[in-house]
Amino acid sequence: MANRRKFIGTLGAGILGSMAIPAFARDFENINPSLPSPELLQTNEEEYWKLIRQQFPLTTDRIYLNNGTMGPSPFPVIDAVHRWMRDADEQGNYGGWESTAEKLAVFVNADKEEIALTHNVTDGINIVAWGLPLKKGDEVIMTTHEHVGNVGPWMNRARLDGIVVKAFSPAPTAAETLQRINDLITKKTRAIAVPHIPCTQGQILPAKEICKLAKDKGLFSFIDGAHGPGQLQLDLHDMGCDFYASCTHKWLMGPKGTGFLYVRKDMLDTLQALMVGGGGTADWNMATQPPHFDGYTKDAHRYYYGTQNRALYKGVDAAIDFVNGIGQDVVEKRIRGMAKYFQDELLKLEGKIDMLTPTEEKSRGAVVGFRIKAKSNTDFYTLAAEAKIRIRSVPENGLNSLRVSTHIYNNKDEVDKLLELVRSVA
Ligand SMILES: Cc1ncc(COP(=O)(O)O)c(C=O)c1O
């Protein structure tokens, strides 16, 4: 109740005085701001996750198995965004987002100087694709499973600057995938730009080995990490990539429209900042003759500029605290376990299913991609929607498959309902 009062208070008495309490505000009646104790996880695991589920306003009218597209936020994130939004408008304060870069750096094991705040993954990819010193004929290796967010920037540079993009299809094992990349490398190859976890079937690519291969061959390594943070424990220094672009609005369950780009320290002067402005520039003075411009900040702030939405980044802070409060390793175990259960059950429908996600332990995460032989992806997607289950159809790159992603607000019953539907048509 105290919580509800606090939140309703932040909504503004003026509005509430004249209007009924909106549904989302009523939801806050049920917030328990403290996470369940870790002991409960040991003694009654299902009860623990039931209490975690209560932290999400996510509707129970529909089963949401599409975290790979968008991660619904828990109450503490929404509350933080709201409070800081209100603070800006009430107090006229608006700065203070740099601390989020610092917090993100700790979360992914990088240095603060290596993190640029962005608004989504595609922002970060564009910065890398356009900032690298590439020339006509230089080759970039990608996969046949790209999201348009990785396709767009690189193919646009191919179109406008004449770089050449080559694609391989990810293999069922990490070792084979690595081999396929190796086979594509020529004298003209300059970069490997692949997803950590492709959006299509969620297989975890061997990022560390890929980056090592790139380093050994003198190539740039860029990882599209849309699905990394929140799904997996990340250690970017250990991964050894040159660049890693990500968002917080998927597996980290942060506010929508928030992301970050990691640029390894020794790459800062290699990756040209093309869009620059306030916060990203070093000393300048237009009143001198000639006007003085000393270039860019020493850190990755050079890649972002101007006014940011502090409230959203405070929401990112809250999202990190939320995941850390549970433990990223605990989250990972839970969601990979649920996806494994789903995949194993599908595999029992031998002959009726095409399983796209590898079964190799290190290559499978919290996403399962598959086809049902007896039903097209679009027909099954519609059927699932009618049954109030939200999954993702994957028409991209001619795959015509289905994708199911499980997060901590899901449970086995929900996965079983979807399995029932698959069995009934397969
Ligand atoms: C692998 C991958 N890369 C890039 C993106 C683009 O992300 P954003 O919309 O945050 O730019 C997505 C989004 O689903 C994705 O799955």
Q: Give CA–CA dist 405/410, Å, rounded.
A: 9
**Predicted local distance difference test score (pLDDT) of residue 30:** 54
Can you read off the two tokens belonging to residue 254? 């942060």
**DSSP3 helix / strand / coil % (the chain, rounded to 5):** 45, 15, 40
Q: Where are the domains of the chain?
A: 98-322
Half-sphere exposure of residue 364, counting CA atoms within 13 Å on the CB side? 24
Q: How remote is the CA of residue 389 from the centroid of ligand 1, in Å?
A: 22
**Predicted local distance difference test score (pLDDT) of residue 314:** 97
**Predicted local distance difference test score (pLDDT) of residue 311:** 97
**Predicted local distance difference test score (pLDDT) of residue 240:** 98
Can you read off the two tokens belonging to residue 140? 């970039």
The preferred substitution site among 145, 151, 199, 252 for testing ligand 1, maximizing ligand atoms within 8 Å of CB, is: 199
The atom of ligand 1 lying closest to the CA of 247 is 10
- Residues of the chain falling short of pLDDT 50: 1-19, 21, 26
Q: What is the DSSP letter of 289?
A: S
Top CATH class of 98-322 equals alpha beta
**Predicted local distance difference test score (pLDDT) of residue 23:** 52
- 335: Cα separation from own chain's centroid: 15
Q: Which residues line ligand 1 (CB under 6 A)?
A: 69, 120-122, 147, 149-150, 195, 199, 224, 226-227, 247, 259
Q: Give CA–CA dist 28/22, Å, rounded.
A: 11
pTM (2 d.p.): 0.93
**Predicted local distance difference test score (pLDDT) of residue 11:** 41
Backbone angles phi, psi at 190, to 5 degrees: -120, -25
In what side-by-side order are the strands of the sheet with 367-372?
Answer: 353-355, 367-372, 401-405, 392-394
**Predicted local distance difference test score (pLDDT) of residue 94:** 86
Q: How remote is the CA of residue 150 from the centroid of ligand 1, in Å?
A: 8
pLDDT in tens, 42-74: 999 999 999 999 999 999 999 999 999 999 999
Q: Give CA–CA dist 325/77, Å, rounded.
A: 13
**Predicted local distance difference test score (pLDDT) of residue 31:** 60
Q: Please calculate the CA angle 365-316-407 and round it to the nearest 5 degrees.
A: 25
pLDDT in tens, 304-334: 999 999 999 999 999 999 999 999 999 999 9
Residue nearest to atom 6 of ligand 1 (CA): 149
Residue nearest to atom 5 of ligand 1 (CA): 149
